[in-house]
Amino acid sequence: MAEARTQGAWYRRWRLVAVDGTVFDVPDTAANARFFGRPGTSRGQGRSAYPQARVAALVECGTHAVFAAEVGPLKVHEAHLAQGLLPALTEGMLVLADRGFCGVDLWRAAKAGGADLLWRVRSVVVLPVLETLADGSYLSEIVAARDHHRRADPERVRVIEYTLGPRGGDGTVYRLITTLLDAQQAPAQELAALYAQRWEIENTLDEIRNHQGVPGMVLRSRHPSGVEQEIFAFLLVHHALRDLMHQAALHAGHDPDRISFTRTLRIVRRHVTGQAALSPLAAGPVHRPESA
């Protein structure tokens, strides 16, 4: 959705996008429970009251536009669902992802279309220092878990390590790996600051689940095919709202983040309700082309 003049959507020449997942509660029907499954719980009967559908999505960070999504059963990990999103990744994108997505196979598949990657890795991942760069980052390599001991078929990456927390105190250590191997092209300090943009997808999913919907919302569809349609309906409406907000931001010369999603939602809801109350006859005749 972002144009070259869209504020907050770019890092240098790259369009910022993020991948993440969420779940939706769905009605407790036999069909939904059988297809989607339900999470366990430590209380009661040891299972959740509602089955859950899992969703993985790609979001443009600067506009919060969801431009690809996959829906599946709860037992399917979001990293596996993300495989279906990869055709939407193209050259000129910089993809941000959290620790749950990091794996050599997914990494290679994600960059195959020309996109660059900036992903956080778990603390247990072994990242040998092959060459230290001037900005404090270093070149390393990752391997598949199955090749961990032999270090077979490695993938070259650049590592950025930093700590978030009070100065001089204990903080959270972040380790990022990226396909951007040139420290002059993308300095480590800039990439460390940039990774905070990944939270834009968290905000996007919150907009869809808790504002378009309501906290604790349960979808209405009693069959899996209907659940999928309902989820994509939510995503399409959100995309339309975000497109409206983006156009308003461009017109005013603002960052789209400066426009309130909840206020936009309320305005559109009032507008749609007003249109629905208008009699078609009051709007005048409908003119159809001769070919209709």
Identify which has the larger pLDDT, 150 or 17. Answer: 17
pLDDT tens digits, 156-172: 999 999 988 776 667 78
Work out the pLDDT band at 271, boundaries 50, 70, 90.
confident
| C-beta separation of 205 from 22 below 8 A | yes
Q: Six-digit token pair at 98?
A: 């959290």
The pLDDT score that the predictor gives to residue 207 is 96
> Is 70 exceeded by the pLDDT of residue 199?
yes
Instruction: Tell me what the mean pLDDT of segment 268-282 comes to.
Output: 65
The pLDDT score that the predictor gives to residue 23 is 96
Work out the pLDDT band at 284, boundaries 50, 70, 90.
very low
Separation of CA 47 from chain center: 28
Q: Long-range contacts of range 40-47, CB-CB < 8 Å, 24 or more positions apart?
A: none
Contacts of 281 (CB under 8 A, 6+ apart): none
10-118+195-272 falls under which CATH superfamily? Ribonuclease H-like superfamily/Ribonuclease H (3.30.420.10)
| C-beta separation of 115 from 60 below 8 A | no
The pLDDT score that the predictor gives to residue 290 is 45
| C-beta separation of 95 from 114 below 8 A | no
How distant, in Å, are the alpha carbons of 206, 211, 213, 248, 251 from that of 262?
Answer: 11, 7, 11, 15, 20
The pLDDT score that the predictor gives to residue 146 is 64
Print burial letters for 115-132: b (CB count within 10 Å at least 16), e (below 16).
bbbbbbbeeebebeeeee
pLDDT tens digits, 71-103: 999 999 999 999 999 999 999 999 999 998 988
The pLDDT score that the predictor gives to residue 171 is 78
Phi-psi region of 247 (alpha: psi -120 to 50; beta: other; left: phi over 0): alpha
Identify which has the larger pLDDT, 284 or 210. Answer: 210
Identify which has the larger pLDDT, 287 or 98. Answer: 98
The pLDDT score that the predictor gives to residue 44 is 54
pLDDT tens digits, 14-71: 999 999 999 999 999 999 999 999 987 656 555 678 999 999 999 999 999 999 999 9
Q: Which of the residue ranges 67-71, 87-91, 193-197, 269-273 would you say has the lowest mean pLDDT?
A: 269-273
> Is 80 exceeded by the pLDDT of residue 186?
yes
The pLDDT score that the predictor gives to residue 206 is 95
Work out the pLDDT band at 130, boundaries 50, 70, 90.
very high
The pLDDT score that the predictor gives to residue 275 is 59
The pLDDT score that the predictor gives to residue 289 is 45
Instruction: Tell me what the mean pLDDT of segment 230-256 comes to.
Output: 96
Q: What is the mean pLDDT of the chain?
A: 89
